[in-house]
Amino acid sequence: MASVQLLVTIAAGATNENVLQGNRFERSPFQIAKGALFCTGSAAGLTAELNVGSRSITSASTVNDQDRLPVVPDDLFVDGWVVQSGELIQIRVVNTTLGDLDFAFKMELDEQELVEG
């Protein structure tokens, strides 16, 4: 299993098109993996959505406002999604408020055995 945990500040009224941009896990390092995303915000007003490759995994959804690093499993945003080698993982975050907010997330990728048949 591989995981990444980051804290990103989203400016007031701004959108970060991919908080994973430039990170080594922006694309899956595994041939096939199942993913889980946990996230929190520093206050109400953040929305997030997850896209993998050309697939929309979630629509824009409210991020909980626990103001801490995500706790597993309490802060689960979505799990059970599949990503294949080289596919882009996009976590898009929007700040709908007039102040800067922090977005904390943990993404886990669990390598799966490829079954050919």
CATH classification code of 2-111: 2.60.120.680
Among residues 76, 85, 77, 23, the alpha carbon closest in space to that of 52 is found at 85
Q: Where in the chain are the domains?
A: 2-111
pTM of the model: 0.95
Q: What is the pLDDT of residues 14-50, one digit of tens each?
A: 999 999 999 999 999 999 999 999 999 999 999 999 9
What is the structure's pLDDT at 114? 79
What is the structure's pLDDT at 97? 98
- In the chain, DSSP assigns E strands to 2-10, 15-16, 32-41, 46-52, 55-56, 61-62, 76-84, 89-95, 101-111
- In this predicted structure, the answer to whether residue 116 has a pLDDT above a threshold of 80 is no
Mean pLDDT of 112-116: 84
Mean pLDDT of 61-78: 97
